[in-house]
Amino acid sequence: MTDPSPTFPRLIPRELVFGNPTKTDPQLSPDGTRMAYIAPRDGVLNVWVTDVASGETRAVTDDTERGVRVYFWAHDNRHLVFLQDAGGDENWRLYAVDLETDTQRDLTPFPEVQVQLAGREKEHPHELLIGMNKDDARLHDVYRVDLRSGELTLVAKNPGDVVGWVADAS
């Protein structure tokens, strides 16, 4: 590359613009004892957790394909929850990592089904409400998922005209 002239500034390196961040999306656990964030593990974005008191840090997901980009804490302080699709198909599945047992579970193991978060409340720390198009690809019904057991319970059937669900605190 030749020296840049006043009319042709030096290009920003492609890796700087399109590469993985060192760390991103920090989130403090509801009880304030742990900090989670996304960072590369073997070049792929994964979720890491640091114990605030001891400073001990560990990766809690082990994705080797596309990386984890969306995650959040459950209000029970025990589970980290994340959404992941396969190969960019946008059929998001919901996963939970139990930080006490270091187990990861696919809570919605259905092919060609998309999950959307519909609600989470601190009054129901072990549960989430999700929209899922399991019965009809065009419509998302609402299900309650128990993070401890993985049990899914249908809460509301989409009558055909609901585009996105909003949950209240009850």
- On the 0-12 / 13-18 / 19+ scale of CB atoms within 10 A, 145 is buried
Spell out the alpha helix ranges (H) of 35-88.
none
The tens digit of pLDDT for each residue in 102-112 reads 999 999 999 99
**Among 99, 104, 144, 103, residue whose Cα is nearest residue 120:** 144
Instruction: Give the range among 16-25, 59-68, 69-78, 142-151 with minimum mean pLDDT.
Output: 16-25
Spell out the alpha helix ranges (H) of the chain.
14-18
**CA 157 to CA 160: how far, in whole Å?**
9
pTM for the model stands at 0.86
- Is residue 17 very low, low, confident or very high in pLDDT (cuts 50, 70, 90)? confident
> 9 vs 144, which has greater pLDDT?
144
